[in-house]
Structure 1
Amino acid sequence: MSTSISAGVADLIQDALALYADDPVAVASLQGYATRLSEPLRIAVAGMVKAGKSTLLNAIIGEEIAPTDTGECTRIVTWYRYGHTSKITLFPVEGEPRILPFKRVDGRLVFVLGGSRAEDVERLVVEWPSQSLRQITLIDTPGIASLSGDVSARSTDFLTPADAPSEADAIIYLMRHMHASDLRFLESFRDTEGGRSGTVNALAVLSRADEIGAGRIDSLLSAGDIADRYRRDHSLRKLALGVVPVAGLLAQSARTMRQADFESLRLLSGMDRPARERLLLSADRFVRATGPEGLDAKAKASLLERFGLFGIRLGVVLIRSGFTEPTPLAHELARRSGLDPLLHLVDRQFQARADALKARTAMVGLEALLRTAPREGTGELAVGLERLQANAHEFRELRLLATIRTTGISLSDELTEEAERLIGGWGAAPGVRVGLAPDSPPEEILAQARGYLKRWRIVAENPLTDRSAVEVCRVVTRSCEGIVAEFSSLQLQRQ
């Protein structure tokens, strides 16, 4: 997002702070929006109970720091943000925040709540020196549609407040299958104050994808076919920017692989194939049956808990295929888990638009304040806010993307697909927008952008193009002009 737009949002917030200086509640909200402009993007991980939220969050971070059991901590909204030192802070519903002690048990982080009940805790904030958290803040939320109404309410109230922007700038939503309750929640998130600004800012994850094929080695292929079908489903397509299958348990364990895990997999890979296949017929048989030599029941149970049958089978196949060292094996397992495509989508769809998403949140919050608590001087602020929203091309792109994915536009399917890509629907990087690889040579990106610019100008000038489609053409043309201007400048600098 351009510096002028960022500065414009910040200036409006400062003007509002001066106007509402005597209102402590409004001042706190406005200061929060100002802070969000400079903080990393906030991405919430949401989904039904046992969808694998904490497991996937651990995989993204690359460390087992999010509790994955069914204890009190999984019923609390927990923030994971970068910190130079490790620290966990408990914010109670009433009272002052306090630092929590923590410990490692079998390599996993355990929070010590000290007798606090989940219902008495507003949030936990975990500060951790992980490189993965430098650019994003991840928020783990309790399960939606839980048998406990209080647990469900915590997530829905946090993510879909009635009269304020969501605490999250974007959502990674996990689902094991596409149920009506999943669609209802995503619709609620879209219908929040932030969603009504015209933005689709959710990614759907087909979680526990290895279970779709009953743990078979080709489970991710089957899950990929289902994800493709969901991706084309109109009900979901208008609510999520993409659908990715991920074997969360495998992703977490691959990113946190231990030497003992590798040694266990290596022993299994040395067995005769018929004996190994009999051993891996079921989880119960795997733990109870004898063999291979050197791998006892306790080690098998640990391996099963960390990788599941799918991960064990895949790990053994990869070792026999030449991945005979722990680090290359871990990287390949993570890639095969589906984690890499998810991280790529998060980067393309969220990180590349981080400034625009954060600014949109701040503007929505300011708009809600001006509407619900008007006073002398708010009219001028509202005009400035409306002008900024109308003139910011990034917001026009976001609104058009939402229109394409919901009501549709009056252009051919080919042009609609092209428009969606050019305005950043497949990723905001210039190379991706013009149908090339993100790291394509600048001269290729420039040439491609010029071609699209010419094409869309012709479409806009065609007398058969109706008025609504002409407005679409203007947005797409402006996106192309931005790429051309950027890469023409780079070309001049090189001369």
Structure 2
Amino acid sequence: MSRLLDETRGVLDHAITVFAADPHVVGTLTAHRTRLGGPLRVALAGSIKTGKSTLLNALVGEQIAPTGVGECTRVTTHYADGPSPRIGVTYRGARRDADPVELPALHRRGSLVIETERLDLARVAALHVDWPTQHLRDVTLIDTPGVDSAVTRSVWGEFSEDVVDCVVHLVRHLHEPDVAFLESYGDRVAENVGAAGTFVVLSRADEVGGGRVDAVMAAQQVARRYRTDPVLRPWCATTTTVAGLVAETARTLRGVEFTALRTLSRLDRAELDAQLLTADRFVQASGVLPSGTRLALLDRFGLFGVRLATSLLRRGVDDSAALAAELARRSGLDELRDILERRFLARRDVFQARSALLAVDRFLARARDAYLPTEQSSTPIGGAAGPRPSPVPRTVAPAALAALAEHVDRVRAGAHGIVELDVLTRLRRRPLDVPGRAGAALTEEAERLLGGEGPSAPARLGVAEDTAAGELRAVALAALGRWRGHAENPFADADAVETAQAVVRSLEGVLVELPRPVAVGVAGS
């Protein structure tokens, strides 16, 4: 357990004592304490049918989240590693005698089936799926209803109360509904994770470019443009793209599917291309595969996936494992997993500690509000996006609140990793404006040095991972000199100075971690 998590646990213990009279507050703080050092909790958000459940299956490598034509996720569902399959149910308010505590974990055609017919979904707070897999040991995935679902307001209205470390927001394109969600709920999400803990995924990459085999490459170009989009920048750290259906199928490829695809790939190229012009032509084509098999392939791969898979087989991919690996790479899944690993899992302790301290901050603000007239209330939680939470009852002495606030500030001041996340979030909303400097380029360098591309020394310094320690030290020292100059610039505004000071501290940390050069003595006679 890291020192930061130990200190955060101390703050939570202190806060639980201060708010002991309020069961809701104690429950939330206890949840934060319990998960410190455990898996990173990542929420998947987006409109209906943007592929949240499909992406979840691709990340896990098994079909455990229901997918289909209609709205499949109507209640927030947590997927975590467990010793055996289990589906638990938690409720809003008191559980009734007739309310089931668990649902049966049923398997049909290799997929987990979650039967919710017995549940009053309006009263269900969340489902909790335990599934034995190594892919959920480091991360708990939280599948949420679509932002345009009838239940969205209540789900996201409670979002700031949930124990979430990072958010993956899926969009088909950056159109009005997605922008509206980011603007309406972005502040609420930022209360827990901020832009530094959020990234946007263009989730239907195959639709960009009309389903051609190079569609993902076209979508990647769109995603790169989004990274500098002024509408999107304030709400996320980065963007990437994935063809979700192909990614899911790549991780769950079956032998019979590989055999069918190989059979298709051996057809005359002109004949196969004619069949793959449209889904109807493909299903109705006569010859080597029956229509039922063709329908099954379309259901699992989509027309784009069939085109891509048969093209790869024609180019020499000769076994199912190689095909699955190449499909995962070309779908964008490998890059997405790399972002999760490099930018988020590598800073798990920092995200967890920051989220816990922010939760204490919120309860402190509400407790202070209890001593103010309603019109002077300072608690920003809720806003236009949802109902304002009830303030903490006036049961805590102001002196106890002040002591707890001092404890939080003391831990936060000594946690540079949290400072980095806070500065990264601010930079996404307010890029640097330095007199005589190219603000965009300076902002980009600051974000990288603060760990925006990942917390490793090579990622911060923008060099290859296998760069020698001596060269890393030279690059870091050069950057340190530049940024000390920015920190001492008398014409820079407060944000620029604060950012430069944070960058200087980050670079000093990099240098401390690098091996020191060995001094070579001169032999004497």
**TM-score for the superposition, normalised by structure 1:** 0.91
| Partner residue in 1 for 2:148 | 145
Report the alpha carbon displacement of residue 8 of structure 1 after superposing the two structures with TM: 2.1
Measure how far apart 1:228 and its partner are: 1.9
Cα deviation, residue 35, structure 1: 1.4
SS of equivalent residue, structure 1 residue 344: helix
Name the Cα RMSD after superposition: 2.2
What residue is the counterpart of 1:459 in the other structure?
Answer: 486
Q: Distance between the aligned counterparts of 2:202 and 2:345, measured in 1?
A: 21
Question: Within 5 A, what are the aligned runs for 1:336-355?
Answer: 336-355=330-349
Find the partner of 1:265 among 261, 274, 277.
Answer: 261
* 8 Å contact kept, 1:397–1:475: yes
2:353 match: 359
1:283 and 2:286 correspond: no
One-letter code of the match for 2:183? Answer: E
1:330 aligns with 2:329: no
Query: 67-76 or 226-235, which moves further after superposition?
Result: 67-76
Paired residue type of 1:207? S
**2:28 counterpart residue number:** 29
Bigger CA drift: 40-49 or 433-442? 433-442
Map 1:69-468 → 2, pairs under 5 A: 69=68, 74-93=73-92, 94-95=95-96, 98-113=101-116, 115-146=118-149, 149=150, 151-159=151-159, 161=160, 164=161, 166-192=162-188, 194-195=190-191, 199-291=195-287, 293=288, 295-373=289-367, 375-376=396-397, 377-411=400-434, 412=438, 413-462=440-489, 465=492, 468=495
Query: Does the C-alpha gap of structure 1 residues 303 and 154 become closer, same or farther in structure 2, counting only changes over 3 Å?
Result: farther
AA in 2 matched with 1:98? V
Deviation at 1:194, TM superposition (A): 4.8
The separation in 2 between residues aligned to 1:420 and 1:219, in whole angstroms, is 30
* Corresponding residue SS for 2:202: strand
Shift of the alpha carbon at 1:72? 7.8
Provide Cα deviations, 1:59-97, integer angstroms capped at 9, x if missing partner: 011101100025786211110001122211122343366
Contact 1:197 1:364 in 2 (8 A): no
Q: CA deviation at 1:439?
A: 4.5
Partner of residue 503, structure 2: 476
Amino acid at match of 1:406: R
Deviates more, 1:463-472 or 1:345-354: 463-472
Deviation at 1:467, TM superposition (A): 5.1
Q: Measure the CA separation in 1 of the matches of 2:132 and 2:421.
A: 33
Amino acid at match of 2:442: L
- Residue 155 of structure 1: CA displacement? 3.4
Taking a change above 3 Å as real, the CA distance of residues 169 and 187 of structure 1, as seen in their structure-2 partners, is farther
Q: Is the contact made by 2:433 and 2:496 (CA closer than 8 Å) also made in structure 1?
A: yes
Cα distance, 1:180 vs structure 2: 2.6
Query: 2:130, 2:467 → 1: CA distance?
Result: 37
Cα deviation for residue 134 of structure 1 reads 0.7
SS of 1:358's partner is helix
* Displacement of 1:111: 1.8
State the Cα distance separating 1:42 from its structure 2 match.
Answer: 0.8
Task: Supply the AA of the counterpart residue of 1:276.
Answer: L
Amino acid at match of 1:64: Q
* Distance change (3 Å), C-alpha of 1:314 and 1:206: same
Which has the higher mean CA deviation after the structures are superposed, 460-469 or 184-193? 460-469
CA contact (8 A) 2:196 2:424 kept: yes
Alignment TM-score, normalising by the size of structure 2: 0.86
Offset at 1:402? 1.8
How far did 1:235 drift? Answer: 0.8
Deviation at 1:114, TM superposition (A): 5.5
> CA contact under 8 A between 1:194 and 1:361: conserved in structure 2?
no
Task: Give how far 1:172 is off.
Answer: 0.6
Cα deviations by residue, 1:342-376 (Å, 9 ceiling, x for unpaired): 11111222112211111111111111222223522
How far does the alpha carbon of each residue in 1:4-59 deviate from its partner, in whole angstroms, 9 at most, with x for none?
A: 33222211111122223333233222211211323211101110011111001100
Q: Deviations over 1:154-197 (max 9, x none)?
A: 432243x4xx4x43211111111112331232234431275388
Q: 1:20/1:154 Cα in 2 relative to 1: closer, same or farther (>3 Å)?
A: closer
Map Cα deviations across residues 281-314 of structure 1 (whole Å, 9 max, x no partner).
10011011102x2x11111100011001111111
Q: 2-side partners of 1:366 and 1:424: how far apart?
A: 25
Return the alpha-carbon distance in structure 1 between the equivalents of residues 193 and 63 of structure 2: 36
CA distance in 1, matches of 2:245, 2:73: 17
Structure 2 CA distance for partners of 1:26 and 1:404, relative to 1, 3 Å: closer
Provide closer, same or farther for how the CA distance between residues 25 and 119 of structure 1 changes in structure 2, counting only shifts above 3 A.
closer
Deviations 1:170-225 (A, max 9, x none): 11111111123312322344312753886532110111110122211111122122
Equivalent pairs, count: 481
> How far apart, in 1, do the equivalents of 2:210 and 2:194 lie?
39
1:42–1:139 CA contact under 8 A, matched in 2: yes
Q: How far did 1:123 drift?
A: 1.2
Measure, in 2, the Cα distance between the counterparts of 1:403 and 1:20: 31
Residue 464 of structure 1: CA displacement?
A: 5.3
Residues in 2 aligned to 1:216 and 1:453: alpha-carbon distance in whole angstroms:
47
Match of residue 485 from structure 1: 512
Distance in structure 1 (CA, Å) of the matches to 2:503 and 2:180: 31
Contact 1:73 1:118 in 2 (8 A): no
The range that moved more, 268-277 or 198-207, is: 198-207
Amino-acid identity (%)? 42
Q: Please say which of residues 63-72 and 52-61 is displaced more in the overlay.
A: 63-72
How much does 1:252 deviate? 0.2
* TM-aligned CA distance change 1:307 to 1:196, over 3 Å: closer
Cα distance in 2 for partners of 1:61, 1:428 equals: 25
1:9–1:363 CA contact under 8 A, matched in 2:
yes
- Contact preservation (8 Å) 1:46, 1:171: yes
